[in-house]
Amino acid sequence: MTHHESQIRELRDLIRRHEHLYYVEAAPQISDREFDALMKELEEMEAAHPDLVTSDSPTQRVGGQPLEGFETVQHAVPMMSISNTYSEGELREFHERTVRSLDGVQPEYVVEPKVDGVAIALHYTGGRYIRAVTRGDGRFGDDVTQNVRTIHAVPLVLRGKGFPETLEVRGEIYMPRKAFAAINAEREEQGLPVFANPRNATAGTLKLLDSKLVAQRPLDMFIHSPVRIDNTVGGLHSKALKLLGQWGFKVVEGWSVCRSLEEILQKAREWDEKRHHLEYETDGLVIKVDDPRQRDILGATSKSPRWVIAYKFKAEEAATKLCNIELGVGRTGVITPRAILEPVFLAGTTVRHASLHNFDEIARKDIRIGDTVIVEKAGEIIPQVVRVLAENRTGKEGVFAPELLCPSCGSEIVREKDEVAYRCLNLNCPDQLRKRLEHFAQRTAMDIEGLGEALIEMLVDRELVRSLSDLYRLQHCDLVRLERMGDKSSQNLLDALERSKAQPPQRLLFALGIRHVGSHVASVLMRGRKSIWDLEDLDVETLSTIHEIGPVVAESVVNFFSQQRNLEELRHLEASGLTFEQKVDAVVSSETPFTGKTVVLTGTLEQFTRTEAKELIEKMGGHVAGSVSKKTDFVVAGTDPGSKLSKANELGVTVLDEAEFRRLLGA
Average pLDDT over residues 507-520: 88
Q: What is the pLDDT of residue 119?
A: 94
CATH code of 622's domain: 3.40.50.10190
Cα separations in angstroms, 515 against 184, 226, 285, 329, 525: 14, 41, 39, 16, 14
**Catalytic residue at 114?**
yes
Angstrom distance (rounded) from CA 455 to CA 274:
39
The answer to whether residue 232 sits within a structural domain is: yes
pLDDT band at 264 (very low <50, low <70, confident <90, very high): very high
DSSP H or E stretch at residue 606: none
- Domain contains 580: no
What pLDDT does residue 599 have? 87
Does residue 448 fall inside a structural domain?
A: yes
Position 577 scores a pLDDT of 96
Give the mean model confidence (pLDDT) for residues 218-238: 79
State pLDDT tens for residues 584-625. Answer: 543 344 567 887 788 888 888 888 877 678 778 877 777 777
pLDDT on residue 104:
93
464/524 same-domain check: no
pLDDT, tens digit (0-9, with 9 covering 90-100), for 169-200: 999 999 998 888 888 887 777 767 778 788 88
pLDDT band for position 66 (cuts 50, 70, 90) = low
The answer to whether residue 582 is domain-embedded is: no
Q: How far apart (Å, rounded) are the C-alpha atoms in residues 509 and 518?
A: 9
User: Whole domain around residue 446: which residue ranges?
Assistant: 430-500
Is residue 225 domain-shared with residue 333, that is, in the same domain? Answer: no
- Cα–Cα distance, 294 to 107 (Å, whole number): 8
CATH number at residue 393: 2.40.50.140
What's the rounded Cα separation, in Å, for the pair 73 and 130?
Answer: 13
pLDDT score, position 659: 86
Mean predicted confidence (pLDDT) in 365-370: 94
H/E stretch holding 156 reads none
> Does some domain include residue 332?
yes
**pLDDT higher than threshold 60 for residue 471:** yes
**625 contacts 645 by C-beta, under 8 angstroms:** no
CB atoms within 10 A of CB 54: 14
Neighbours of 110 (CB within 10 A): 21
Name the β-bridge partners of 111.
256, 287
Q: Is residue 472 part of a domain?
A: yes
- Average pLDDT over the chain reads 86
The DSSP call for residue 456 is: H
Are 646 and 534 found together in one domain? no
| Cα dihedral sign, 62-66-67-70 | positive
pLDDT band at 379 (very low <50, low <70, confident <90, very high): low
Boundary of a domain, candidates 256, 289, 312:
312
Using CB atoms within 10 A of its CB, is residue 606 exposed (0-12), middle (13-18) or buried (19+)?
exposed
Q: What pLDDT is stored for residue 603 in this prediction?
A: 83
Note whether 285 and 362 are same-domain residues. no
* Same domain for 242 and 155: yes
Three-state DSSP at 484 gives: coil
Closest CA to 338 of 356, 323, 324: 356
Which CATH number belongs to the domain containing residue 35 in this structure? 1.10.287.610
Q: Is the pTM of this model over 0.75?
A: no
pLDDT of residue 313: 87
Residue 534: count other Cβ atoms within 10 Å of its Cβ.
Answer: 16
Res. 231: pLDDT tops 60: no
Would you state the torsion angle of the CA atoms of residues 554, 180, 146, 159, taken in this order, to the nearest 10 degrees?
Answer: 120
Separation CA 457–CA 431 (nearest Å): 9
Indicate if 634 and 647 belong to the same structural domain. yes
- In 144-251, DSSP assigns E strands to 166-174, 220-227
Alpha-carbon gap, residue 577 to 119, rounded angstroms:
53
DSSP reduced 3-state for 177:
helix
- Give the rounded percent of residues in the chain with a pLDDT score beyond 70: 93
**Is the pLDDT at 490 greater than 90, yes or no?**
yes
Asked whether residue 109 falls in the same domain as residue 239, the answer is yes
Whether residue 175 sits in one domain with residue 36: no
**Region 437-447 average pLDDT:** 91
Measured between alpha carbons, how far apart are the two ends of the chain, in Å?
40
Is the confidence at residue 78, as pLDDT, over 60? yes
- In this prediction, residue 614 carries a pLDDT of 77
Total residue length of the chain? 667
Structural domain includes residue 66? no
Last residue of a domain, one of 452, 468, 500: 500
Q: Is pLDDT larger for residue 419 or for residue 461? A: 461
Percentage of the chain modeled with pLDDT above 90: 43
Please tell me whether residues 438 and 351 are part of one structural domain. Answer: no
Domain CATH number, residue 202: 3.30.470.30
Write down the pLDDT at residue 381.
64
Q: Is residue 300 located within the same domain as residue 340?
A: no
Q: How confident is the model at residue 348 (pLDDT cuts 50, 70, 90)?
A: low
Beta-bridge mates of residue 372: 321
Highest average pLDDT, of 377-386, 493-502, 560-569, comes from: 493-502
| pLDDT of residue 11 exceeding 50 | yes
Residues 308 and 324 in one domain: no
| Whether residues 241 and 365 fall in one domain | no
Query: Residue 453 falls within a domain, yes or no?
Result: yes
Count how many domains the chain has: 6
Q: Tell me which H or E stretch contains 284.
A: strand 282-289
Q: Which of 500, 522, 548 lies at the terminal end of a domain, its last residue? A: 500
**Eight-state DSSP code of residue 427:** T
Say which of 114, 377, 435, 644 is annotated catalytic.
114
Bigger pLDDT: 448 vs 377: 448
Q: Residue 518 is part of a domain; what is its CATH number? A: 1.10.150.20
